[in-house]
């Protein structure tokens, strides 16, 4: 079968809006949407009895959003350099600042956000897990937004699919074989599904750390699963045990989430 027989990835102009010399790219626009969704959802989280009783307010959310943006950009860029292209960045260290070239790691950004939240906790004299429990249900929709941006750009495509798969798609630059639109899979799994599960779970009364633990385990398992349909990075390929870098980086999240879950339940038993 020829490439024209299959669905073709819609070749969307990466520039969403041109204002004179200023070009607004779809990927940047999706990040702005992600931050707006986070802000709106955290405002709703303020209604939760736990945080209302603790005196949380709009100023807290504004500061958390600012620190989160810094953590995502700095941590995501450093994580990409360290996890995915260490030799290239060691040879040219100044490339770390060339953010216009693209290249952000979720796991690096996640670490950056955690450090930002730790600084916030120290400055406000609040429990760090209280903060991560507060923001955890609001993160997945932002992840979905970012994956949609990947799809629009036609990047991070999936592995070669069965030609009979109705939604198998040919991506420009990936050859003539149909592939899984893994960006959409990730948007649905790590994004929408995880959001629904966490949002519903976090509505009830939870012990300190339980919502954060649910996020770690949920994201780690869903990302690990989605990676089976995503094409590994060409310069890395599959690593030990036939797993991708994304899968290896997700395993510590699952283990950390399970450990945190056990700790939270031991606290419950002690309190009882």
The full set of domain ranges for the chain reads: 12-271
- In this prediction, residue 271 has a pLDDT band, given cuts at 50, 70 and 90, of very low
- What pLDDT score was predicted for residue 270? 52
Higher pLDDT, 58 or 16: 58
Q: Where are the alpha helices (DSSP H) in the chain?
A: 26-45, 49-53, 58-83, 86-91, 106-124, 128-135, 140-153, 182-186, 194-203, 210-226, 245-271
Answer whether residue 102 shows pLDDT above 70.
Answer: no
- What pLDDT score was predicted for residue 57? 86
Answer whether residue 161 shows pLDDT above 80.
Answer: yes
Mean pLDDT, to the nearest integer, of 207-220?
94
The residue with tokens 């629904």 is 196
Most confident of 12-21, 76-85, 97-106, 140-149: 140-149
The DSSP call for residue 189 is: I
Whether residue 147 is annotated as binding a ligand: the answer is yes
How does pLDDT run across 126-136, given as a tens digit for each residue? 899 999 999 99
- What pLDDT score was predicted for residue 272? 36
Higher pLDDT, 196 or 79: 196
Can you name the residues that pair with 22 across neighbouring β-strands?
19
What is the Cα–Cα distance from 225 to 182, expressed in whole angstroms?
A: 11
Most confident of 86-90, 120-124, 251-255: 251-255
- What pLDDT score was predicted for residue 86? 74
Answer whether residue 51 shows pLDDT above 60.
Answer: yes
Q: Quick check: helix, strand or coil at residue 129?
A: helix
- What pLDDT score was predicted for residue 191? 93
Answer whether residue 202 shows pLDDT above 80.
Answer: yes
- What pLDDT score was predicted for residue 155? 84
Among 13-22, 33-42, 70-79, 201-210, the least confident range: 13-22
Answer whether residue 255 shows pLDDT above 90.
Answer: yes
The pTM of this model reads: 0.85
The residues, ordered by sequence, that sit 6+ positions from 129 with a Cβ below 8 Å of its Cβ are: 208, 209, 212
pLDDT averaged over the chain?
Answer: 86
Among 7-11, 26-30, 97-101, the least confident range: 97-101
Of all residues in the chain, the percent with pLDDT exceeding 70 is: 93
The residues, ordered by sequence, that sit 6+ positions from 134 with a Cβ below 8 Å of its Cβ are: 42, 45, 51, 56
Centre a 10 Å sphere on the Cβ of residue 197 and count the other Cβ atoms it contains: 16
């Amino acid at each position: 079968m020829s490439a024209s027989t299959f669905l073709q990835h819609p070749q969307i102009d990466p520039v969403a809006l041109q204002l004179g010399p200023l070009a607004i790219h779809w990927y940047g626009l999706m990040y702005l949407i992600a931050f707006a969704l986070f802000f709106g959802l955290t405002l709703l989280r303020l209604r939760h009895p736990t945080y209302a009783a603790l005196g949380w307010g709009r100023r807290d959310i504004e500061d958390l959003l600012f620190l989160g943006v810094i953590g995502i950009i700095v941590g995501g860029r450093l994580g990409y350099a360290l996890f995915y292209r260490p030799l290239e960045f060691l040879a040219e260290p100044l490339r770390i600042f060339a953010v216009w070239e693209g290249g952000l790691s979720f796991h690096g950004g996640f670490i950056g956000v955690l450090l930002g939240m730790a600084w916030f906790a120290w400055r406000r004299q609040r429990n760090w897990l209280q903060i991560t429990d507060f923001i955890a249900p609001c993160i997945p929709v932002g992840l979905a937004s970012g994956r949609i941006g990947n799809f629009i750009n036609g990047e991070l495509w999936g592995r070669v699919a069965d030609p009979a798969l109705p939604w198998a798609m040919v991506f420009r630059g990936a050859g003539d074989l149909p592939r899984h639109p893994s960006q959409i899979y990730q948007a649905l799994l790590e994004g929408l599904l995880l959001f629904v599960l966490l949002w519903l779970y976090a509505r009830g009364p939870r012990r300190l750390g339980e919502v954060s633990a649910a996020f770690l385990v949920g994201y780690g398992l869903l990302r690990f699963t989605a990676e089976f349909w995503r094409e590994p990075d060409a310069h890395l390929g599959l690593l030990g045990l036939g797993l991708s870098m994304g899968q290896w980086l997700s395993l510590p999240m699952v283990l950390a989430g399970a450990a945190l879950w056990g700790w939270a339940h031991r606290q419950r038993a002690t309190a009882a």
